[in-house]
Amino acid sequence: MSDNYKTNARDRLPIGQKLAVGAGGFPIQNGGLVVQYMAQPIFQIFLGLNPALFGLAMTIPRIWDAFTDPLMGRISDRSQSRYGRRRPYVFIGAFLMAVSFITIWMVPENMNDMGTFLWLTIGSVLFFTAFTIYSVPFNALVYEQTPDYHERTRLMFYLALFYNIGNLCVNWYVPATSWSGFESPLAGARWIALGLSLTVFLGLGILPAIFGKERFYKVAQKEKKEIGFIKAIGQAASSKPMLGLVGIVFALNFCGTIAGSIAMYIVIYYVKAGDVTGGLVLNAMNGTGFAIVGFLGIFALRWLALRYGKRQAMCCVLLLTAVGGVSKWFIFTPEYPHLLLLDAVLNGPVWVSLGVIVPSMIADLCDWDEHRFGERREGVISSVFTWITKFGTSFTFLVSGVALYFSGFDESLGADQPDGTITTLRLFFVGASVLAPVLAIFSLKLYGITEDSAYSIRKELEARRGEV
């Protein structure tokens, strides 16, 4: 960090505010992953839903999100109330997430494939609509907490901390559904859903609405708003820095989640030779390893970003991830099952970067966007990344379902899958894991905002607004 760019006292945030805003990372992390994580074993394995139909049920809400996410972003950008333009939606969205999440797991056990498919699809659409109402304004709220280049990174440290806690917990929800105290995994899912709704989606979800500050609220109200909705979306989505970040987020979420969804089958039917319970536990242990590495990675990535810059820190993480992708072919092996825990060391930091570095880069992008187009629109920009993240994590189940189909995978065979089937799945697994960081590295070249340019843009914006 240059001595010329030290954070002013007025730009620093109290620890309590950082913790309260960061707490929203827990429901964001769980909301983006928990439906898929719990639905795959509950609906696909326990209820026997066809993998292709399951993938379609996870994809349809993302098609819906393509319309609702940018609309929600624009609504929050244009909203005016005594409580601000973001906070009311964060509060309402937290309540709606809590209610809609419970309904997904109330599916009757005796329904046919089509009935189960429709229940999951409708329930997911309702939940992810509520998630949109919460997440788009929440992310915008995070971006506008402080205008300082480095304080944004410090804030994202707390956001990533709660992301990581959420990631640690989400890995154990599925094994918990099989606890002997529950009469069935579905019953377990219902009780866990109730607990998550009350404590995570509602309890932690409302904290940012109560304690978050809308620093740029008055600025946004002063700016001319003559740019139409479609044009605003087009402007935000077509700029080079935006395209660069979109490419990074999409590559990591899309390819990374494809690898993650196939990993469960690799672990159960290859590494653990058809032992479903043992495979789920080992998978959860691997997820816990990711969380542990993540906690350490939060500190390391914050230091790297503050010391060398956000782009340089991101590049280092992506190179490590590429090496980790290749390693998956060797460390996921039945001879040494627990060797796969090395996966967390090599691939854990990249997921931390999505909580520390990338959001801080997006906040800088919001300044760049205002500087170029003359409108403060964190909501629109937030909606783009919210949708990319959700689409990337859900559409993958359709892709992985297709991969399972073409590999010849037959769940009824257990560990007796044809050799070609396992080999095909491993190739998909490793290929997606390597492709993610490679695409992200090429995308990073488009993002040209540096520490110098960020401070220069801020200075010009403040002069334009009459703040200096």
Query: Is residue 75 in some structural domain?
Result: yes
Compute how many other C-beta atoms are within 10 angstroms of the C-beta atom of residue 289. Answer: 21
Residue 16 lies in a domain: no
Give the chain's radius of gyration (CA, Å).
22
Q: What is the pLDDT of residue 20?
A: 93
Mean pLDDT of 121-134: 94
pLDDT in tens, 289-308: 887 888 888 888 889 998 88
Which SS3 state, helix, strand or coil, does residue 151 take?
helix
Is the pLDDT confidence value at 340 over 70? Answer: yes
434 exposed, middle or buried (CB, 10 Å; 0-12, 13-18, 19+)?
A: buried
Q: Please check whether residue 403 is in contact with residue 263, taking contact to mean a CB–CB distance below 8 angstroms.
A: no
Cα separation of 160 and 299, whole Å?
A: 10
| Of the candidates 289, 269, 291, the residue with the CA atom closest to the CA atom of residue 280 | 269
Q: What is the DSSP string of 171-216?
A: HHHHHHHT-TTSSSHHHHHHHHHHHHIIIIIIIITTHHHHH---TT
Give the tens place of pLDDT for each residue, 257-271: 788 778 888 888 888
pLDDT score, position 386 = 78
* Alpha-carbon gap, residue 274 to 409, rounded angstroms: 12
Q: How confident is the model at residue 228 (pLDDT cuts 50, 70, 90)?
A: low
The pLDDT tens digits for 144-160 are 888 888 999 999 989 98
* Domain span at 164: 23-465
H/E run at residue 283 = helix 276-308
- Tally: H helices and E strands in the chain: 17, 0
What span, in angstroms and rounded, lies between the C-alpha atoms of 240 and 125? 32
- The model's pLDDT over 376-399, given as tens digits with 9 standing for 90+, comes to 888 888 888 877 777 766 666 667
Q: How long a stretch of residues is the chain?
A: 468
On the question of pLDDT at 451 being above 70, the answer is yes
Q: Is residue 160 part of a domain?
A: yes
- pLDDT tops 90 at residue 138: yes
Structure tokens given for 323: 């090496």
pLDDT on residue 144: 87
194: number of Cβ within 10 Å? 14
Does some domain include residue 194?
A: yes
Contacts of 147 (CB under 8 A, 6+ apart): 11, 215, 216, 367, 458
- The secondary structure of 93-148 as a DSSP string is HHHHHHHHHHHHTT--TT--HHHHHHHHHHHHHHHHHHHHHHHHHHHHHHHTS---
Residue 216 vs residue 419, higher pLDDT: 419
Which amino acid does the sequence have at 353?
S
Q: Which of 369, 69, 386, 360 is nearest to 239 (CA)?
A: 369
What's the CA gap between 15 and 29, in Å, rounded?
Answer: 21
Domain count, the chain: 1
Q: Is 53 a member of any domain?
A: yes
Cα(21)–Cα(427) distance, integer angstroms: 40
Under 8 Å between Cβ of 276 and 45: yes
Q: Report yes or no on 311 lying in a domain.
A: yes
**Statement: residue 204 has pLDDT above 90:** yes
What single letter denotes the amino acid at residue 96? L
Residue 10 resides in a domain: no
Residues 6+ apart with CB under 8 A from 181: none
CATH, residue 214 = 1.20.1250.20
Q: Establish if 12 belongs to a structural domain.
A: no
